[in-house]
Chain A
Amino acid sequence: MADRVIAITGGHLVDPVQGIDGPASLLLRGGKVEAIHRGGGKIGLPEGCLEIDATNRHVFPGIIDARVHVGEPGGEHRETIASASRAAAAGGVTGFIMMPDTDPVIDDVSLVDFVRRAARDTASVHVYPSAAITKGFKGSELSEFGLLQEAGAVMLTEGRHSIRNNLALKRAMTYARDFGMVIAKETNDPDLTSNGVMNEGFSATLLGLPGIPREAEVIPLERDLRIAALTRATYHAAKLSTPESVRTLSGYKDRGLDVTGGISINHLSLNENDIGRYRTFFRLSPPLRSEEDRMAMVEAVAEGGLDIIVSSHDPQDVDTKRHPFAEAADGAIGLETLFPAALRLYHSGQLSLARIIECLSTNPARIFGLPGGSLAIGSSADLMIADIDEPWVLNESEIVSRSKNSPFEGARFTGRVLQTMVAGDIVYTK
């Protein structure tokens, strides 16, 4: 097992770190990349080698999804670490950062340890725990950053919650800097958001639903960035939805600060009109914005204003979704559709494959200090093999995740993941 040899031959390798976007064969040994043969020619195979023919297929570094909600502990009927891991593998995701929004909240060493052990015993992909910035998401007392980091927490985040108290946030950023930990935050002002459930504007007015203005995102983002500038913290704005947010973020990047931004694939694929007649699977936080916003955000990804794309996988069951729109929970699952949905932006000519892989794999690895993001010689063989041209339709019955709240149910895709490997082990085959 340890020195098993696998050859992936005849495929098209995309690896932005090595600047490869062309035919190449890979030789894997002991779960690591041993050699890369560029060009389309046949390669000599070592004895006892398992050959995977990737002719007419693409080979990519595995996706690292930096924002995944799981229901374990406390909401196992929605998703367990094991079921999330299977969904991830089916989506070409070889590693994900798990949000601390569980019950209990992951704000303690023992809980980080629980996640790591559960992942080791039940998961087939890498599961990286994150930890709450403040104890119980209460917004005041800091959790034990240093001990949490030692236990294996890869970043700090307040999950779906915001921190109202500027002083508490300033202290958190100051202290996190000493440990080199990234503070990743969603930015939504609870007062401006109030009882809002969708983008503020004509659509909300027509549906009679309370709206959320774009400023509810931009104002706390600006605040966070100012505090990051003050404390020189490493800051990641996790889920942006408006072009004004990108402009604000870019202003601070230009000043040389260590700040980055992410967006969920939903906000690059869908807009507020998709809510239609109160479809709660499209109730998200931040809310889906207008089509102009979506287009501007795709452009921001292409031009580098945004650094990473996440699934924002958030399993919800009928107990939280089968309600009137204003009473339903936010969130949509997305591990399995992250890559196919991103490929739409490739087929529409808006993003290159290399840029997609940068945002799905290379940049998340770099920003959060995780292994992966490239298939350079010596790196772990975390990869996916995909047919980027295969047309298919997502049926609910095929969803691997334990929850079925996908906004892409019935959607047509072009391109799908055929095989996923983690450290050279095949964890998913279509």
Chain B
Amino acid sequence: MNNIQQPHFPHRHLLGIAELTAADIMYLLDKAEEAVSVSRQRNKKKAVLQGRTQINLFFEASTRTQSSFELAGKRLGADVMNMSVGSSSVKKGETLIDTAMTLNAMQPDLLVVRHQSAGAVELLAQKVGCSVINAGDGAHEHPTQALLDALTIRRHKGAMSKLTVAICGDILHSRVARSNILLLNALGARVRVIAPSTLLPSGIEKLGVEVFRRMEDGLKDCDVVMMLRLQRERMAGALVPSVREYFRFFGLDSEKLKLARKDALVMHPGPMNRGVEIASEVADGAQSVIEEQVEMGVAVRMAVIETLIGDNKGAARNG
């Protein structure tokens, strides 16, 4: 039970895992657990956010994340509006700040923002009067993804502190990897990254991870194997020579998966490139929890949205 004297979640925005304590993370995960059961009821609608307005502002197209946030808001009873900005005002020369100010004037309670540039969501949050959730900014952070991954892991494996988690693939360009590394470290898991050196950012080991360049070494004794998507434009020649070479050395197939623990979970933030970073036999196999991640995504986003703009916000609006 939460102590009602304490502010439950002392942040106005959710911009990144970096600003959260382990207690903040546990608070959100516990709340998300409750949301899972709401989503599994026949009547999935709560009225806690009735009358609140949530705007999804996606500067970078994303069907999955945007629908997940939309569904989460709607299941809580909020009015949800989607804006895909990539195609409209930005092309007309409007700056991010101008777009933010325009939306702010419409008095939303929450902005859910995705942007192709690191730091863009934080910049926007400084200029608006409502809460902001970072739905992915460049190669910086994607906090709700890390939270939904943690929730999925916790439901299968319990406490993080005994687990070894391998994150494999394009670490260099991945906000998912950064948020997951920060979160898993905060909860005491052992984190490994496995990638060719061309896809590893400089100084990554200082984030508190073990670095491996071969799946054969890195997967040994892992409890969780998280695969990352390799963007199409990075497949041919620039950072890795070819798809078939990448799949041979860094794609997760059933042979490589045998190196991990027998009960290791296989995860992927989606959308998957089958035959590039992951083989279908593994993606659809018994150890895969990829579909469950999608379900947990809605639950985590419900938890975050309700925490930030619900009535039981606690005293704290000092984030």
Contact = CB atoms under 8 A, between A and B. Distances in A.
B300 to A, nearest CB: 21
Interface string A303-333: 0000000000000000100111111000000
Nearest to A327: B117
Contacts of A208: 118-119, 137-141, 175, 178
A207 interface: yes
B120 interface: yes
A219 interface: no
Nearest to B18: A206
Nearest to B119: A278
Given A207-B118, A277-B122, A327-B117, A202 B206 contact: yes
Interface in A395-417: none
B301 interface: no
B236 interface: no
A326 B203 contact: no
B119 A324 contact: yes
B22 interface: no
Contact of A325 (B117, B175, B201, B204): B117
B115 interface: yes
Contacts, number: 70
Contacts of B178: 206, 208
Given A206-B207, A278-B122, A324 B201 contact: no
A206 B137 CA distance: 13
A189 interface: no
Nearest to B124: A324
A211 B178 CA distance: 16
Interface in B77-101: 95-97
B169 to A, nearest CB: 16
Contact of A324 (B118, B139, B206): B118
A278 B140 CA distance: 11
A61 B147 CA distance: 61
A327 B95 CA distance: 10
A201 B202 contact: yes
Nearest to A207: B118
Contact of B202 (A202, A278, A322): A202
B123 A324 contact: yes
Contacts of A209: 118-119, 138-140
Contact of A205 (B96, B97, B207): B207
A72 interface: no
Contacts of B139: 208-210
A209 B140 CA distance: 7
B138 A205 contact: no
A14 B128 CA distance: 52
Interface string B102-124: 00000000000001011110110
B104 to A, nearest CB: 15
A277 B139 CA distance: 14
> Which of under 10, 10 to 19, 20 to 34, or 35 or more describes the interface residues of A?
20 to 34
A383 to B, nearest CB: 43
B229 to A, nearest CB: 16
A205 B177 CA distance: 11
Contacts of B95: 319, 322-323
A79 interface: no
A204 B207 contact: no
B122 A205 contact: no
B140 A207 contact: yes
Contacts of A322: 95, 97
A108 interface: no
Given A200-B202, A208-B141, A211-B202, A278 B118 contact: yes
A204 B202 contact: yes
Interface string B272-308: 0000000000000000000000000000000000000
Interface string A274-291: 000110000000000000
Contacts of B202: 200-202, 204-205, 211
A324 B116 CA distance: 9
Contacts of A324: 96, 115, 117-120, 123, 137-138
Interface string B17-52: 010000000000000000000000000000000000
B141 to A, nearest CB: 7
B119 A277 contact: yes
B206 A325 contact: no
Interface of A: 200-202, 204-211, 277-278, 319, 322-327
18 contacts: A201-B203, A202-B203, A204-B201, A206-B178, A207-B119, A208-B138, A209-B119, A210-B139, A211-B201, A277-B119, A278-B122, A324-B96, A324-B115, A324-B117, A324-B123, A324-B138, A325-B117, A325-B118
Interface of B: 18, 95-97, 115, 117-120, 122-123, 137-141, 175, 178, 201-204, 206-207
Given A208-B139, A325-B118, 15 more contacts: A201-B202, A205-B203, A206-B18, A208-B141, A209-B119, A277-B119, A278-B118, A319-B95, A322-B95, A322-B97, A323-B96, A323-B117, A324-B120, A324-B138, A326-B117
The 3 closest A-B pairs by CB, nearest first: A208-B140, A202-B203, A278-B119
